[in-house]
């Protein structure tokens, strides 16, 4: 591992730890807001935060470059979360958790086809270990119930995130400040969300903003899970590459069960522990350099 890549690993770990806890905030907010309302509020907060940190605007340098930013906003900000949220209305959360974890596999496949990136056999071996572990964690003794519509939407979300990862790798070659480039991606994501807001039942109920609990969780999602995490994720992708960074997605369910135990008093079972061991083993195998 190169010395300058160590910060990329740190950035990826910070990102995944925070993303693994967002379910708590989202669960709280769903009692007052619609999913699309939460989505646009968190990224609007994130955009403002990034603007305050780095007010300098990226200059327009042509349609081709702007198209990449717009495509990143469409895929990673708008479509990914929209598909994931809709999938949850049709299928089990455990199904979505397992299927979304296929994203590193799609990232590797896209990289090998488009960018001619060489993917070593240990990546696929580690992938199998990690997926087995994630299945054990997500199902935890319950049977896997196939729900074609929801499962296909979740599969599409996993594929969309893989595309986003490669787009951010491309954006990193533009040599912009990571905060400024992340903000530009947020801008386009919000633009693509506006038509959805207009055709939805979104009302952003005023009473919901009177709750300090709601305000705290919106700030956590906007400042932490959006502004900070997308910047750190994009930095990790630029440092490590899309495929290597995507491997850290395996850790999301592991982080989730740890914080579920701490904040929601959910019991950690033997199956969860075994799943965690398999997932961490898969992460180690996939990340090996030789």
Q: How far apart are CA 154 and CA 151, in angstroms?
A: 5
Residue 10: CB atoms within 10 Å: 14
- In order along the chain (290 residues), what is the average pLDDT of each group of 10 residues? 74 91 81 89 96 88 93 95 82 70 85 76 84 76 65 88 93 91 96 91 91 94 95 92 86 78 72 83 73
Q: What pLDDT does residue 92 have?
A: 66
Q: Are 104 and 286 contacting, i.e. CB atoms less than 8 angstroms apart? A: yes
Please tell me whether residue 117 adopts helix, strand or coil conformation: coil
Closest residue by Cα to residue 248 from 172, 168, 177, 165 = 165
Expressed in angstroms, the distance from the first to the final Cα of the chain is: 11
- Token pair for residue 213? 């609990």
- Residue 1 has what pLDDT? 41
- DSSP string of 204-246? --GGGGG-HHHHHHHHIIIIIIIIIHHHHHHHHHHHH-HHHHH
The reported pLDDT for the residue numbered 11 is 94
pLDDT at 35: 84
Q: Long-range contacts for 172-177 (Cβ within 8 Å, ≥24 apart)?
A: 172/234, 172/237, 172/238, 174/65, 176/58, 177/54, 177/56
Neighbours of 142 (CB within 10 A): 9
Model pLDDT, residue 87? 83
In the DSSP assignment, the letter for residue 57 is P
pLDDT at res. 275 = 81
Supply the pLDDT for residue 124: 83
Res 143: pLDDT? 55
Residue-wise burial string across 34-54, b where 16 or more C-beta atoms lie within 10 A, e elsewhere: bbbbbbbbbbbbbbebbbeee
Taking the C-alpha atoms of residue 147 and residue 211, their distance in angstroms, rounded to an integer, is: 36
Query: CA 20 to CA 26: how far, in whole Å?
Result: 11
Tokens coding 10: 């740190």
- pTM score of the predicted model: 0.85
């Amino acid at each position: 591992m190169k010395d300058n890549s160590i910060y990329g690993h740190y950035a990826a770990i910070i990102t995944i730890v925070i993303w693994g806890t967002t379910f708590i905030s989202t669960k709280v907010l769903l009692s007052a807001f619609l999913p699309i309302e939460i989505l646009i509020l968190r990224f609007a907060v994130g955009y403002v935060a990034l603007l305050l940190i780095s007010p300098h605007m990226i200059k327009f340098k042509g349609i081709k470059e702007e198209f990449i930013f717009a495509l990143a906003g469409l895929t990673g900000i708008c479509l990914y979360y929209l598909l994931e949220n809709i999938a949850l209305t049709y299928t089990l959360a455990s199904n979505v958790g397992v299927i979304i974890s296929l994203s590193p596999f799609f990232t590797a496949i896209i990289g090998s086809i488009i960018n001619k990136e060489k993917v070593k056999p240990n990546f696929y071996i580690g992938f199998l270990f990690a997926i087995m572990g994630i299945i054990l964690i997500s199902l935890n003794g319950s049977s896997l119930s196939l729900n074609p519509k929801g499962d296909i939407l979740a599969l599409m979300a996993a594929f969309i995130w893989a595309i986003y990862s490669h787009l951010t790798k491309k954006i990193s070659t533009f040599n912009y400040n990571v905060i400024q480039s992340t903000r530009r991606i947020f801008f386009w994501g919000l633009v693509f969300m506006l038509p959805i807001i207009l055709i939805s039942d979104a009302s952003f109920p005023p009473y919901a903003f009177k709750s300090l609990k709601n305000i705290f969780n919106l700030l956590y999602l906007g400042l932490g899970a959006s502004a900070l995490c997308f910047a750190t994720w994009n930095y990790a992708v630029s440092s490590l590459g899309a495929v290597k960074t995507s491997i850290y997605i395996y850790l999301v369910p592991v982080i989730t069960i740890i914080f579920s135990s701490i904040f929601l008093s959910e019991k950690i079972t033997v199956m969860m522990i075994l799943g965690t061991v398999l997932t961490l083993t898969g992460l180690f195998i996939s990340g090996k350099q030789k």
